[in-house]
Structure 1
Amino acid sequence: MIIYPAVDVREGKCVRLTQGEFNKETVYSDNPVEMALRWEKAGAQYLHVVDLDGARTGKAQNIAVISEMAVKMGIPVQVGGGIRTIEMIETILCKGIERVILGTSAVKDPELVKRALKTFENNVVIGIDAKDGMVAIEGWEKTSEFTAVSFAKKMEELGAKTIIYTDISRDGMLTGPNLKAMEEMVKAVNIDIIASGGVGKLEDIKNLKEVGVSGAIVGRALYTGDVDLKQAIEIAR
């Protein structure tokens, strides 16, 4: 299992939101690139980056700083937030970023997903963010009519190889991941599931590993010191 430290970028700063709410923001650094390099130095194998401005506005906003991370780091970077066109996917992948995450666009534009997966294959990941089991979109401010599991099956049929599954109610709360939902997702599809939301202690990493996810995204717990990245990676291995 791979541990993905999360760097969320808003207005050029490294921040964390609580349950995706923009008015519940904590700024952890004015320099997201430095923060990214810190996680790499601690042993990270892969970095997870969210362009929060992009997620909210529907157009990627912080690509320059995210690209700088990718260029300066010796590990791959995946990025999500406001990626809604084939042209934008191409632009991002050309800047040294390894994978793009399609979230809202996957719900609203299945044709884009189909085309993106066919063209870029493993460089495209589907982000499924769930609120009470339903898929949320547009920076988590709206809910679609899809259940998370039925949508995941649909994405698998289109050729998706990896899904990032976030339980919004747990995000930034440090209360532990929704293990039941993660296990249900792992059993429902035959592709890699990366768990996101709620990791607050090392035991959560152990529990997620037992559920069978291929990766876990850790955000706030790294910044508060509740989880030590080196130890988390050791457990995940």
Structure 2
Amino acid sequence: MSFKKDEMLIMPAVDIKNGKCVQLVQGKPGSEMVEIENPELVARHWQDLGAKCIHVIDLDGTIDGVANLTAVKKILKEVSVPIQLGGGIRSIEYARQLLDLDIERLIIGTMGIQQPQTITELSDEYGSDRIMISLDSKDNKVVIKGWQEKIDKTPTELSQEFKEHGAGSILFTNVDVEGLLGGFYTNPVVELKKSVDLPVVYSGGITTIDDIKKLNESGVDGIVIGSALYKDKLDLTEALKYQKRI
């Protein structure tokens, strides 16, 4: 599913931990504010409300390095819309396994940053549209390994490198505001969007319809909404009205 010029793709998040759909505060284990059985049914619910793509993160893989492939396969079986998947992709072999399952777009973070040649290999093999690089930002520096380790580069600095390596899009998560339900800062994502000629998807702190309007006007190509949907701060049906470019 390619990004469209006249659209900001709105994607509900389904984060998987211990076989459940969860929402963590700033990605910290033990901070679950939401726990729901059967993530595949949650994904189906968002599809039924009109979502064109589901954003799935395997937190078991991200935090513990143990992939939750069973839950991922259940989601793929339950929904018909494209799946964008990330979390715990530590080897090119596992990335290939996921792409061969018909994951629409694979989100690669730590492995891609530490071994950028893997992005080139996967883009050459499967097409750059299916490979997204995850640039997670804390204090305007990129963090990796489940947000536990910071490297001395900004998302803007790294974005140029990954376009050259063949990434087809960027997921930008602002860890400073993620999961806090307190809004977000527009400037970092606007700066990133201006710096690179690649689709940019934003995640972190989206809480109100006004937040969605701001992001639509910023020119980002997609957004991921998590906690606000699960805590009834946002209604997905209402949010999807702003999928078309304002």
Q: TM-score, normalised on structure 1? A: 0.96
1:177–1:196 CA contact under 8 A, matched in 2: no
Alignment partner of 1:43: what SS? coil
Label 1:193 to 1:120 Cα distance change in 2 as closer, same or farther (>3 A): same
Q: Counterpart in 2 of 1:174?
A: 181
1:33 corresponds, among 36, 40, 48, to 40
Q: Distance in 1 between matches of 2:41 and 2:202?
A: 25
1:139 corresponds, among 135, 142, 146, to 146
Cα distance, 1:178 vs structure 2: 2.1
2:162 corresponds, among 148, 155, 162, to 155
Structure 1 residues 78-109: Cα deviation after superposition (integer angstroms, max 9, x where no partner): 11111122211111122232111100111111
AA of the residue aligned to 1:80:
G
Q: Counterpart in 1 of 2:71?
A: 65
Q: Counterpart in 1 of 2:10?
A: 3
Cα distance, 1:173 vs structure 2: 1.0
Segments of structure 2 that go 5 or more residues without pairing to the other structure are: 1-7
1:58–1:138 CA contact under 8 A, matched in 2: no
For the pair 1:87 / 2:90, whether they are aligned, the reply is no
Residues 217-232 of structure 1 mapped to structure 2, 5 A cutoff: 217-232=224-239
Alignment partner of 1:146: what SS? coil
Cα distance, 1:26 vs structure 2: 2.3
Q: RMSD over aligned Cα, in angstroms? A: 1.1
Aligned positions, number = 236
Cα distance, 1:40 vs structure 2: 0.4
Structure 1 residues 148-196: Cα deviation after superposition (integer angstroms, max 9, x where no partner): 1101111111121210000001101111132110100110000100000
Segments of structure 1 that go 5 or more residues without pairing to the other structure are: none
Runs of 4+ in structure 1 over 6 Å off:
none
For the pair 1:97 / 2:103, whether they are aligned, the reply is yes
Q: Percent identity?
A: 36
Structure 1 residues 52-94: Cα deviation after superposition (integer angstroms, max 9, x where no partner): 11012335x1111112111221100011111122211111122
Q: Counterpart in 2 of 1:21?
A: 28
For the pair 1:192 / 2:199, whether they are aligned, the reply is yes
